[in-house]
A and B are shown apart, each in its own frame.
Chain A
Amino acid sequence: MVEFKEDVSIVLGGAAGQGIQTVEEILTRVLKLSGYNVYANKEYMSRVRGGINTTEIRVSSKKVRAFVRRIDILIPFKRGVLPWVEKRLTENTVVLGEKENVEEEYLSRVNFVEVPLNEMAKEVGSPLYLNTIAAGVVVGLFHGDFEALEEYLRKRFGSKGEEVVLKNIEAARKGYELGVKLCEEGTIGIEVKRDENVKKEILLSGTEAVALGAVAGGMNFLSFYPMSPSTGVAVFSAQHAEDFEIIVEQVEDEIAAINMALGAWFAGARGMVTTSGGGFALMSEALSLAGMAENPVVIHLAQRPGPATGLPTRTMQGDLNLVLYSGHGEFPRIVLAPGSIEEAFYLTAEAFNLADKYQVPVIILTDQYFVDTYYNLPELDLSKIKVEKYIVESDEDYKRYKLTEDGISPRSIPGYGKGVVVANGNEHDEWGDITEDEELSRLMQEKRAIKKLETIRKNAMMPELVGREDAKYVIVAWGSTYHVIREALEVLNREDVAFLHFKWVYPLPEKVEGLLEGKVIIDIEQNVTAQFAELLKKEFGLEIHHKILKYDGRPFSVEEILDALKGVLE
């Protein structure tokens, strides 16, 4: 008998088009409704059918929010899955499924439990019920809430008619009973605590958090060109565009996308684009226009490995330098990188206030790992959302680029007030008209690149400190690695190791230096050249003592971080 306690990692693997996503959806929802904490993340190939895609679902007694390498229960839907996940198999791994889907050489390495999923599906009436049966088996292993499963199936297949619903419920029951039996006869033992409160919680993905945060922050115009892994934000926004009464437009290219977003802001709306590194590269011209014209804009960039098309469906934090230095000429920008789903929601909403207030591009950096992750969370507090608008009514002699102490000129919009608004991507005078005047050119450069930047820096958010301020070691990381590092630190359990997580990546507040001075700094990033470490060095002259880097297109796992930290710490 193989026993799992407190925390079980279940991986489903199969070809694209085999319905892995469906099983993932059923399991996460039904297990959460049964009172279990859940976490899910997927990895997939850049193809429509075939290949091998996997999904990891963690079911736990307490909140789980990070990717683990180990697989406790593996359900392969085709041959090739076991070799694909070979490095993640342990001596405890239970493989549930059919013999034909397991290569012989693995039979001795894993605990194979033969489950005739296909045969059971045929008994119900069609091989199509395979996914529902598999989901039923897993829910059964956890003695999950069968009513919730039934209700889910009704909702999901309701539009296909009563017969399909009933067949699916029958399939689910067969699977469920088998799952329960596997436990009762002692093949698999699972001990994970349930929590009544979890049942009422929200299950949300990184993608949904960004999209909902944007709408909460007043986004009413989204222009985009489809590109993995950023498209989900557009899909979600488009599907709710009528409820939100917003414009979501798929345009001819990324160049049009960002220019439209600029136009939307120029006219007073709140525009966003959602893209990935390759798309953002095309946007750099308009980013520069945003800088010069002091046109607010919000950009969501879901990173994937480059250069060029790189690994289109995989993850990396390789575009920090791109967003920091993209665009010709010198102008400020704000770079944000949420670490949790909650943070993605609040930070994306806040991005719109920041863009409006400082009249600069605000870039939200996520990545494939982050957008494709979801887990349960208690709730999102909508009362925390403050939509701050900074648009002023113009008078007759309105000056769009009035020189001010803090570098921020009051921004009016066409049609609001007695004046006209002239914005300009050429160097300009205070009214917005072209100038080649020496003095004005200098003043305008300083206004944008010095005064405004300093105003933003003064108001920048500090990183979150996890652990003790006087710890000898401090880990620095940004964005999506937050929970993986936190979980690794919990396991490590050392008081002399603290963690600074940067959700506000640029410009960095001056006080950051004080938190890092005299410490042994360990930089953790998912890129080859430690881009954030370079930024810290550039901004504060800080030497980074250790770098833990990963760049194979896969997310850091808790185990990897833990191993790497152990290697670095004395």
Chain B
Amino acid sequence: MISPLIFEPERPGSKDIAWCPGCGNFGIRNILRSAFAELNLRPQDVVIISGIGQAAKMPHYINVNGYHTLHGRSIPIATAVKAANPSLTVIAEGGDGDMYAEGGNHLLHAIRRNPDITVLVHDNQIYGLTKGQASPTTMLGMKTPTQPWGVFEEPFNPIALAIALDASFVARTFMGYFKESVEIIKKAIQHKGLAIVDIFHPCVSFNKVNTYEWYREHTYWMKDHNPYDREEAFKRAIESDPLPLGVFYIHEKPTFEEQVPAYKRDKTPLWRRKSKLEEIGKILEAKRTF
């Protein structure tokens, strides 16, 4: 098996980690490194496309290909990376604001499109990098600098939404449970089709409610749950306290890359292809008549 150490970046800029001491992002990074190693992936074949926010800094602190992009835009970029070269392991990574607010529309349509990518959402139920505003998953009643009267919007339920849209793979974990999280992320990466993993993690600086202890006390692992049963999965998804952890739902179906005409006959990644001049020639010939 590959050592997790090969995923430790040696670049000078990667040493100065921008996350706060005690941040849940460190744990997620370790989980990712272990998952990649246990899956025997090579750094060259993994790509992390991230959006904006603290979670989105992941490509700089791990030794794989990375593209740190724009707020909310990691999913369309990741979709195209996978489509252009299906031999890559592609991960779209961002926070709850990134994936559920700014990038919400892309998430909805990625579920419909079903590219074989893994969407990892660092869900700390707050905006960290912009200093503590409510996010789509902030709990009702929480007071923040920009919601001083307390949040009154219904929190977004990404798990229920994904199941409602018949997503291919839907899971939730809390990064405080290391081994279980590694297993879930491995399953998500190995799953053929769009895999969404909502990862609870505390924001030690701006979320004083959803702490490490809070997540331990308010979550439980689903046992004997059949992830192929959509109704059962949906019932679990709308439980609110304690919140279930584990794989909620799996629906195997064809992926985006499997269905596009580009790969019907030829599996060569797009970048290795030549332009089809002979086909153009045929079309031009036809234009001489009708």
Contacts and interface: CB of A to CB of B under 8 A. Distances in A.
B85 A267 contact: yes
A255 interface: yes
Nearest to A426: B68
B280 interface: yes
B68 A434 contact: yes
A456 interface: no
Interface of A: 29, 33, 151-152, 155-156, 200-204, 208, 212, 215-221, 223, 240-249, 251-253, 255-257, 259-264, 266-271, 285-286, 289, 293, 379-380, 382, 385, 387, 391, 413-426, 428-429, 431-435
Interface in B37-68: 43-45, 47, 49, 52, 57, 59-60, 63-68
Which A-B residue pairs are the 10 nearest by beta carbons? A268-B271, A433-B13, A263-B80, A263-B77, A267-B84, A269-B270, A269-B84, A414-B65, A252-B109, A260-B80
- Does more than half of chain A's interface fall in helix, strand or loop, or is it mixed? mixed
Interface in B258-272: 260-266, 269-272
B12 interface: yes
Contact of B66 (A240, A261, A432): A432
B157 interface: no
30 contacts: A208-B287, A215-B276, A215-B279, A218-B274, A219-B275, A220-B262, A220-B273, A220-B275, A221-B83, A223-B76, A243-B282, A245-B265, A247-B83, A249-B260, A251-B109, A252-B109, A259-B70, A260-B76, A262-B80, A266-B67, A267-B47, A267-B82, A267-B269, A271-B80, A293-B67, A382-B280, A382-B284, A387-B274, A415-B65, A415-B88
A263 B288 contact: no
A218 to B, nearest CB: 4
Contact of B106 (A155, A256, A379, A429): A256
Contact of B13 (A208, A419, A429): A429
A260 B79 contact: yes
Interface centre among B87, B266, B275, B277 (most CB of A within 10 A): B275
B186 interface: no
A151 to B, nearest CB: 8
Interface centre among A29, A269, A391, A424 (most CB of B within 10 A): A269
Given A240-B279, A267-B85, A422-B66, A413 B271 contact: yes
A223 B47 CA distance: 21
A391 B280 contact: no
A385 B277 contact: yes
B169 to A, nearest CB: 21
A249 to B, nearest CB: 7
Nearest to B59: A422
A243 B63 contact: no
A379 B274 CA distance: 22
Contacts of A218: 273-275
Contact of B283 (A240, A266, A415, A432): A240
A253 B270 contact: no
B262 A246 contact: yes
A377 to B, nearest CB: 9
A432 B13 CA distance: 8
A429 B66 CA distance: 14
Contacts of A380: 284
B161 interface: no
B13 A420 contact: no
A413 B88 CA distance: 11
A84 B288 CA distance: 34
B264 A423 contact: no
Nearest to A424: B68
B145 interface: no
A267 B81 contact: yes
Given A242-B261, A247-B262, A267-B81, 18 more contacts: A33-B289, A202-B284, A240-B279, A248-B261, A252-B108, A255-B73, A256-B109, A259-B70, A260-B79, A263-B84, A266-B67, A267-B84, A269-B270, A382-B280, A415-B88, A416-B271, A419-B44, A422-B60
A293 B282 CA distance: 38
B211 interface: no
A431 B84 contact: no
Contacts of B45: 414-415
Contacts of A246: 261-262, 270
A531 B262 CA distance: 40
A155 B290 contact: yes
Contact of A420 (B63, B68, B261): B63
Interface centre among A223, A255, A416, A419 (most CB of B within 10 A): A255
B260 A247 contact: yes
Given A242-B264, A245-B265, A266-B77, A382 B271 contact: no
Nearest to A246: B262
Nearest to A259: B76
B105 A253 contact: yes
Contacts of B73: 255-256, 259, 285-286, 289
A85 B52 CA distance: 54
A271 B85 CA distance: 13
Contacts of A248: 261
A203 B276 contact: no
Contacts of B85: 267-269, 413-415
Contact of A266 (B81, B113, B260, B277): B81
Contact of B67 (A220, A252, A424): A424
A379 B286 CA distance: 12
Contacts of B266: 245
B18 interface: yes
A246 B13 CA distance: 38
Contact of A418 (B44, B57, B264, B276): B44
A260 B90 CA distance: 14
Contacts of B109: 251-252, 256
B277 A29 contact: no
Contacts of B274: 218, 387
Contacts of B270: 220-221, 246-247, 264, 267-270
B281 A382 contact: yes
A391 B271 contact: yes
B69 A425 contact: yes
Contacts of A431: 11-14
B32 to A, nearest CB: 14
Contacts of A212: 280, 283-284
Contacts of A201: 288
B65 A422 contact: yes
A269 B271 contact: yes
A435 B261 contact: no
